[in-house]
Structure 1
């Protein structure tokens, strides 16, 4: 089979198409012929040598796939050959065939193409984990979502809107903010033009949950607009590993919690429970249209370098997808 190979530590241009054997599956796995896969920041970090896959997982890039089941393990009962599926993998997604635990498979709604389905698993599960499992966001509360026009940001806006919360977002342009507003965001801040803490304070906005990908100087400013007993959930460190000194007085005074979170290196059991919880609460909303994958661009696999380059300069609104 063909797959996207990379030079560890190399640039986006180092990505090439290579060949390898089709993976074999265990009793609890299925083999999917991949029609499309999502591009995530974790992929660019792995290519750069900064984010290796969990021990025992495929070294091939890629965390989410969509396609057709071509083989099932002897112990699999929840999915059949020929079914259209999408799902989460810990590695191996940038290939024509990928194996995936049957418990981590979603059946693709009839209303969605494979390209659309490939843009769901990573962002919606990350958003669901952050808002519902960690943040315990409730109807009537408020949430602040930084990088609102990112894939996770746009998924989080939709989930927060369905839960029934007030939503504030930050983004870098009026175009990105308009997309956020169209999906349900109430308060919009262009962080290149305004200090978001000052802007939200003037609006008397207080967040029960903050989703942050930036870190550094954002943490203290997020604490300023956090509600009592609120939670900041840190998903990435786009402004670097180290930042401003933490304002402990704000942290203590608001009884705040700062929670770091990842998804890729969680246990299989954790991911299964997360997927089941998401499916019970929200999966049907893709059929009703209340939830939808927001796709920026669909590239052919030969254009994978363009997708990585765009991801690295934050030049996206929603998901970047590649198809075979």
Structure 2
């Protein structure tokens, strides 16, 4: 088979489409013939040499894919060869075939094209696990999403609205904010021109955001705490603004606030399986009835993954950039 390899860390040109051995599904795994994968920021970090796959995972980048089951490993039940699926991965999505733990498989939701299903697993599992399983967003509360036009952001808007929450977003252009509004965002903040702390306070009559989903990390840490409502919850899922920041513990105490920081890739298999099962139970029906949908900016041939990485690094996209295997 062919897959994207990274012989040496570097820029997008470090991604090489090469012939590699086929993966063999181990105990509890299935072999998926990949139709499409999707680009995530974690893939860019891996390409740059900053985010190695966990032990035992595929060295090829790619944290999600869609395709058809080609073979079942020992001990797998409930799935059959030919089933159309999408999957959460620890690596291996930028390839024509990949081995997946059965607990990380999802059926393609009703009404979703097989290719576009590749845009779902990583973003849905990230949003559901952080916003709902950890931060416990409730109906009537306000969620602030940084990077509202990203793959994570576009999914967070839809899931929060489906749950009866009010949604605020930050983005850097009017086009991106308009797209967020089209998905249901109520409060639109241009972070290039506006202070999100002031804007969220103004929009909530001084109360602040009950939950903040943050992809920036250090750069926004102090302002995120100031933007929280009393009993607010800050969920950090990225470090695009740096890894080390200064926390005003007094301000956090005054808010009776909570900060969580999680990632999916290196979690134990049973934890990822539990998140995937929750997504199938709670989110797949919302997709089937049209309340939630994948947002895809464009599709790029997988062999041209370097082009897709450039698009994502330039932040000119809205939603997900897919890599089509054939």
TM range, normalised to the smaller chain? over 0.9
- Tell me the CA shift for residue 27 of structure 1: 3.1
Q: Deviations over 1:189-232 (max 9, x none)?
A: 00001111112222225211100111234122122221111111
Describe how 1:50-89 pairs up with structure 2 within 5 A.
Answer: 50-89=50-89
Compute the displacement of 1:118 (Å).
Answer: 0.3
User: Is this contact kept in 2: 1:115–1:298, CA < 8 A?
Assistant: no
What's the offset of the Cα at 1:185?
Answer: 0.8
Equivalent residue runs for 1:108-119 within 5 Å: 108-119=108-119
SS of equivalent to 2:35: strand
Q: What is residue 272 of structure 1 aligned with on the other side?
A: 273
Query: What residue in structure 1 maps to residue 290 of structure 2?
Result: 289
Q: Secondary structure at the match of 2:119?
A: coil
Within the candidate set 210, 214, 218, 2:212 is matched to 210
1:233 aligns with 2:235: yes
Matched with 2:46 is 46
| TM-score normalised to structure 1 length | 0.97
- Return the alpha-carbon distance in structure 2 between the equivalents of residues 237 and 89 of structure 1: 20
Bigger shift: residues 106-115 or 283-292: 106-115
Gaps of 5+ in 2: none
2:38 and 2:152 map into 1 onto residues whose CA distance is 12
CA apart distance, 1:110: 4.4
Query: How big is the shift at 1:323?
Result: 0.5
Contact 1:46/1:52 (8 A) holds in 2: yes
State the shift of 1:113 in Å: 1.6
Q: Is the partner of 2:270 in helix, strand or coil?
A: helix
Give the Cα–Cα distance (whole angstroms) in 2 for the partners of residues 321 and 232 of structure 1: 29
Instruction: Out of 151-160 and 301-310, give the one that drifted further.
Output: 301-310
CA contact (8 A) 1:7 1:47 kept: no
Query: Match of 2:137?
Result: 137
Counterpart position of 1:178: 178
Report the 3-state secondary structure (helix = DSSP H, G, I; strand = E; otherwise coil) of the residue aligned with 2:116: helix
Which string of whole-angstrom CA distances, capped at 9 and with x for unpartnered residues, describes residues 27-66 of structure 1? 3111111010011111110011100000111111111111
Deviation per residue, 1:84-115 (Å, 9 max, x gap):
11111111111101011111111113422222
Report the Cα distance in structure 1 between the residues aligned to 2:109 and 2:281, rounded to whole angstroms. 15
Contact 1:90 1:265 in 2 (8 A): yes
Deviates more, 1:73-82 or 1:259-268: 73-82
4+ long deviations beyond 4 Å: none
How far apart are 1:78 and its partner, in Å? Answer: 1.2
For residues 319 and 279 of structure 1, what CA distance do their matches in structure 2 show? Answer: 20
Partner of 1:301: 302
Q: Tell which deviates more after alignment, 150-159 or 1-10.
A: 1-10
Judge conservation of contact 1:78–1:102 (CA < 8 Å) in 2. Answer: no
Give the whole-Å Cα distance in 2 for the aligned partners of 1:110 and 1:137. 26
8 Å contact from structure 2 (residues 23, 98) kept in 1 = yes
Q: Which residue of 1 aligns with 2:20?
A: 20
